[in-house]
Structure 1
């Protein structure tokens, strides 16, 4: 692989791993006392895909189906997600956010956005932010196309 691209991939992974951990751990709010980072991540996914099967959710979170099952159970008990049985397949289910789940993820997104803005606003120039947006839009388009081909 191209050395520069290799470096970019490593940096991306570092930002994803350490950035997520640092941000969620450094925000003091009851949402992050009530729900684990993994549960918040699941809510984030559901806010993007609307309805999803437990198997697909496990793929998107990179975990075993049993972990998804436990998270869904807890989030369902708290009224944040609903599980809908398939009419065609008795074993089939889809998971989606409830209004309460949408409210929680909206609040979490606002907290994260404000926190990131506070961390980075003095560190990045407008031109760097524009470049970041351009590159990540391109990467997102490539990854979505690749995912849709599966």
Structure 2
């Protein structure tokens, strides 16, 4: 089982790498020219987790707080996120998506979906897709429970 799990992890990492490369190279939409993949990822994280501190964002993205600070400054300037004092701790700012940030994220997600749909069309059948979804739902549930 160890070898299979190791292969699964390596394949997952490679799919992420090749998938990201495919999307970045093949998506010709204005949003991806205006915003970096890292900025879009911040929007996705906020959409998934809700309001977070900059420290929490840095931890989730696996980067130093200074990198998040720079990204957030640009996203605030572009009105995609807002920063407000935490009502329970005035020393902490909470970052959240704005309606404009949600719009940008939706447009990005739609473009990614269309790109992947055209790439996989007629190459993956419905049964394979159902297996994939089932496996990833299970993995997500395990990871969400681990984080609790």
TM class by smaller structure: over 0.9
Report the TM-score when normalising by structure 1: 0.95
State the alpha-carbon separation in 2 of the partners of residues 2 and 117 from structure 1. 32
Give the match for residue 73 of structure 1.
73
For the residue of structure 2 that corresponds to 1:51, the secondary structure is coil
Give the match for residue 114 of structure 1.
114
How big is the shift at 1:21?
A: 2.6
Write out aligned runs for 1:1-150 (5 A). 2-148=2-148
Q: 8 Å contact 1:80–1:97 — kept in the other structure?
A: yes
How big is the shift at 1:17?
A: 2.1
| Greater Cα shift, 16-25 or 37-46 | 16-25
For the residue of structure 2 that corresponds to 1:85, the secondary structure is strand
- Flag structure 2 segments of 5+ consecutive residues without an equivalent: none
For the residue of structure 2 that corresponds to 1:91, the secondary structure is strand
State the alpha-carbon separation in 2 of the partners of residues 128 and 51 from structure 1. 35
Q: Kindly provide the CA deviation profile for residues 88-116 of structure 1, in whole angstroms up to 9, marking residues without a partner as x.
A: 33320110000000000011111101110
- Flag structure 1 segments of 5+ consecutive residues without an equivalent: none
